[in-house]
Structures are given as C-alpha cells and as structure tokens.
Amino acid sequence: MSMNAPRGTQDILPGTSEKWQYVEEQLADLCRRYHYKEIRTPIFEHTELFQRGVGDSTDIVQKEMYTFEDRGGRSITLRPEGTASVVRSYVQNKVYGLPNQPTKYFYMGPMFRYERPQQGRMRQFVQFGIEALGSDDPAIDAEVLSLALNSYRELGLKSLKLVVNSLGDQESREAHRAALVRHFDPHREELCADCQVRLDQNPLRVLDCKKDREHPAMETAPSILEYLNDYSKDYFEQVKQYLDVMDIEYVVDPNLVRGLDYYNHTAFEIMSEAEGFGAITTLSGGGRYTGLVQEVGGPETSGIGFAMSIERLLMALEAENVELPTDEGLDVFFVSLGDEANRTAVKLTDELRRAGIQVDKDYLGKKMKAQFKAADRLGSKFVLVLGDQELENGVINVKNMASGEQQEVALDGIIEHMQKELTGGK
C-alpha cells in the first residue's frame, strides 16, 4: 500500500505556500475593487447538478468526474468546476429576488477531475473564477474580460493574448449547428469516436477536439460569425467597443468555441505567449451563458463568467521570471539561556505575538551559538537575547541582524521598542 499522495495531487509546502497565499490575496483584492463578493460552495454536490449544469455530452461528465454513492444511496460528485455550484446556490437561496442586481460573485477552491496528470494540470487543482448573474448588458461582458486580464497583469505577467469570439444567440447557434452537421457529416467516419457522438449531440464541440484538430475539414468548417443575426452582430460590436474604450487589446478568433450548450454571445480565452510556457497556452476561459439558471430550477437569467487554474497562473509567472514579493523572513527570534530566562522568554514571546509581531524561539535546548545560527537560517530581522545577567538587570539585548548593532532595552519596554524598530520608528 502506497503512503504517497495520490497521483495527480500535490503537497504545497512552506516556501511555496506563501506564493499561493500572495496570489490568492491579490485576486481577492482585485475582485473587491470590481465589487465582486466571495461565495463558498460545498466541495461535493449531487451528481445531477453537473450532469445538467455542465452537460451529459461533455468530457467532464462522461470521463473525468469523481462520482460515488454515499451511505444514503445518493450519487455524489466532487465538484469538477465552479459555475454549476454557484448557480445552484444562486437559485436555492433565491438571490435573484434581492434588490441589488446583477449578482457578482468570485470563488476560489479545489476542484477535481480524473484526467492524465501533467505540468499545470492536476486531478485536484485550485480554480479561481467569477460569475456575474442577472444582466444582459454588453458592458458587463467587457468588465469580466477586464477583470480576467487584470488578474494576470497585476501579478506581473506581460506576455498575454486575449482572444474573443461571439457564439451568437439561440437562433444564430441553431443555424450554425445545422451548417456544422452538413459540413462534417460526409466525414463522419473519419472523425474520432467522441466527435461522431458530438456531431449528433453538440456539433460545436467538434471544433474543439484535440484528436481531430489536424483534419482538413476543420480548416474549412463554417464560422459562427457567418451565421450571426443582426442582434448578435450588434451585441458583439458593443462588447468590442467597450474593450476599445478601455484600451484592451484583443484578437477575434472565429474558431474559438465554448462547447457547452448554454453558452451564447461572448466567448473568450486568455493565453500565455511566454517562451517556454508549454504546448497548452490557455490560461483561462469564459463566456456568456443562458439557460443554466433555468436548468437548475431558477427563473430565466443570463450570466457571464470565467475561470482560471492557480497552478497554471503560477507556471506562467515562473515562465516570465516574475518574482512575487513574499516575505518569508521572521521579525524576531528569541534566544534564552537558563531556566528562569526561558520562562520569561515564553511570556514575552506570547506578548510580542499578541502585539502583532512575528516571533519564534528555540525549542530544542540548543546552545547560544546554535540558536543564533537558527535565527540566521530563518531570516530573522532581530534577535532578542535574554540570560540570567540580563534578567537580573531587568534588560534584554536586542541585535539587528542586518547591521550587527546591539543595544540593551528595558524588559518592560521591549514590546514598544520592537514595534518602533519594525515600523521604521513610526
């Protein structure tokens, strides 16, 4: 029996976890500026939610979900993505009836998909995403695209490409769907087994197939842009105008699709163009959708959102050599010698911590030289030295590890002194 972590999962250890914390804090702060509020949903849901919300014909539902039967005989699935759970919560809690609309959420947490693990793609991965529900305004599409792009820019990424497309409304999609079937049907037997099924269930997903991407029929497939009705064309033009107003560069790609049935109008992806990032360049994707709220029992409501993998974000930061400003050093390390001094050190360590100062001390009974080495390894800014002599005199020795300067400070004034030292005397 293996005692290692299951395949496709990972331990995020100190030294790396600080990067995750920094990224997550920056993303949450950005969402607050856009007035998106955090929502936290269960890690597992009823399987039917994803079957209906993600789609029976998708690879996620057919091949990748972690599904099991609980002790009550109910089919339960670990969430493979965030949108369906957010929409379920929106409907269950009747948020659509609240006066302040649209409803704007962000979420962050682990998702689970059974797929072949590779760099930046795990079976348990962390997804950050947003959903804006209850508005058909093209301006909110542009807002979501802006937030998505700024999620990367504000962390220091520069080699980015925003690709946009329109999937049109229901009328436009039905016309395009019929054209796709006419186009691919003569080549049906040449397509992979999955695409033969997709051609009947959701032909738009044929365009997104990784196995058949080199098939000649892909290059000549009819574009959705050829089938947009006037309303859909106007909607897409407005989205692009808003992007232009915000000086957001983008590329229109008629082959960009979002394969789920409920997507319509705006679809987009953000890609990394950094050298050495890898063959799969997509960082995040999203789009506008209708029908999903109704599918889980709510009123007719449209929405738009996107999702990104934190793992792939960190990969992109590494590819562009972006150093995150994570402070892994320690404020204070306490060196104490003698039983009485050690008891006083425990007391002062606790008081310093409650005063907001990051403190650690020796718990292995090391000698003074070894304790100083430990302080140096931990990157401590200051070392407090307390022995029997200092204790008798009511003072403590404070050493600045950067300058090497030392000074004696009264024991009863050490907290105030360290607060001033660590804030530059303020």
Point out the annotated binding site for L-histidine.
81-83, 113, 127, 131, 258, 262-263
Task: Count Cβ atoms below 10 Å from residue 48 Cβ, excluding itself.
Answer: 12
* Exposure of 186 in the CB half-sphere (CA atoms within 13 A): 7
Q: Output the six-digit token pair for 303.
A: 């929405």
Do residues 86 and 39 make contact, with C-beta atoms less than 8 angstroms apart?
Answer: yes
Taking the C-alpha atoms of residue 338 and residue 388, their distance in angstroms, rounded to an integer, is: 6
Q: Determine the distance from the C-alpha atom of residue 218 to the mean position of all C-alpha atoms in its chain, rounded to a whole number.
A: 32
Question: Sheet harboring 103-112: ordered strands across?
Answer: 37-38, 103-112, 124-133, 302-309, 282-290, 263-272, 160-166, 251-252
Q: Output the six-digit token pair for 76.
A: 């339960």
Taking the C-alpha atoms of residue 382 and residue 332, their distance in angstroms, rounded to an integer, is: 5
**Which of these, 162, 256, 169, lies nearest to 204 by C-alpha position?**
256
User: Which amino acid is present at 396?
Assistant: I
Strand partners, 286: 268, 306
Distance between start and end Cα atoms, the chain:
57
Taking the C-alpha atoms of residue 400 and residue 422, their distance in angstroms, rounded to an integer, is: 11
Strand partners, 69: 75
- 191: which DSSP letter? S
Q: Annotated binding site, which residues? A: 81-83, 113, 127, 131, 258, 262-263
Q: Output the six-digit token pair for 346.
A: 């425990």
3-state secondary structure of 124: strand
**Strands 330-336, 380-386: pairing kind:** parallel
Whether residue 216 has a cis bond before it, omega within 30° of 0: no
Task: Count Cβ atoms below 10 Å from residue 119 Cβ, excluding itself.
Answer: 10
Q: Output the six-digit token pair for 255.
A: 């082959």
Taking the C-alpha atoms of residue 122 and residue 9, their distance in angstroms, rounded to an integer, is: 6
Q: Output the six-digit token pair for 33.
A: 């500026």
Do residues 359 and 332 make contact, with C-beta atoms less than 8 angstroms apart?
Answer: yes
